[in-house]
Amino acid sequence: MIFTKKDQTTLNKIITSRRDVRGNNFINKKISQKKLLKILDSAQNAPSVGYSQPWRFVIVNKKKKDLVYKHFKKSFNKSKKKFKSRRIYNSLKLEGIKESYINIAVYYKKSKKDILGQTYMKRTGEYSVVCAILNMWLTARALNIGMGWVSILKPRKINKIFDMKKEDYKFIAYLCFGYTKEFFDEPELKKLGWKKKKKIKDLILKKGKK
């Protein structure tokens, strides 16, 4: 298949318009089963080491969602100490657990057998799961659905909530999906002045040169 310049432009628009959506931007609108399956199908089409497809998904019910939110609040309050010099931190809305329509916990399924390509880089299976998550993020954006990645969580606590054995599964991400009031023209933390966008020239290491 050969893609056109129009296709390339559309893909670039989707990538540059992707945002990490928080609870203050989600609206109360149902995501259809058809669109949810499209998002999950895009994850299934992600690259994976040795074609292992190690991603697993938990569609979170309300009871579990409330437990995750309760844990998040404790973790967030503890994390304030690390950013006490940044007053803006206390005012940031860093999740949309309750406000979003669907929560999905994403896990890496550990293999009992050897995986092609994973002999020396053991974590490539986990990296494969992250590739699947990015596919979900971009597909959601193409469907005009927002996604937020909640990272102030302790894997051990999340495993307990979902009754997942660490010997078999590794917690990778907690994702919130929902329709939004708007998609910001720039990443929210950039707009708030938390960090500036880095230039490509500053990201290229010169280690290979004499």
Q: What architecture is domain 15-202?
A: 3-Layer(aba) Sandwich (3.40)
What's the pLDDT band for 88 if we cut at 50, 70, 90?
confident
pLDDT of residue 84: 80
List the Cα angle 93/37/173 in 5-degree steps.
Answer: 40
Residue 58 and residue 105 in contact, taking contact as beta carbons nearer than 8 Å:
yes
- What is the model's pTM? 0.93
- Average pLDDT, stretch 62-72? 97
Q: Is the pLDDT of residue 200 over 80?
A: yes
User: 140 versus 91: which is more confidently predicted?
Assistant: 140
User: 86 versus 49: which is more confidently predicted?
Assistant: 49
Rounded to 5 degrees, what are φ and ψ at 146? -85, 155
CA distances from 182 to 15, 89, 95 (A): 16, 22, 16
- Average pLDDT, stretch 139-145? 98
Measured CA to CA, the distance from residue 56 to residue 74 in angstroms comes to 26
Q: Is the pLDDT of residue 208 over 80?
A: no
- Average pLDDT, stretch 46-70? 98
Q: Which range (12-16, 134-138, 184-188, 205-209) has the least confidence?
A: 205-209
Where are the extended beta strands (E) located within 1-150?
Answer: 55-59, 102-109, 146-150
Say whether 156 sits in a helix, a strand or coil. helix
Measured CA to CA, the distance from residue 9 to residue 17 in angstroms comes to 12
- The share of the chain scoring above pLDDT 70, in percent, equals 99
List the Cα angle 14/46/204 in 5-degree steps.
Answer: 65
Return the domain boundaries, the chain: 15-202
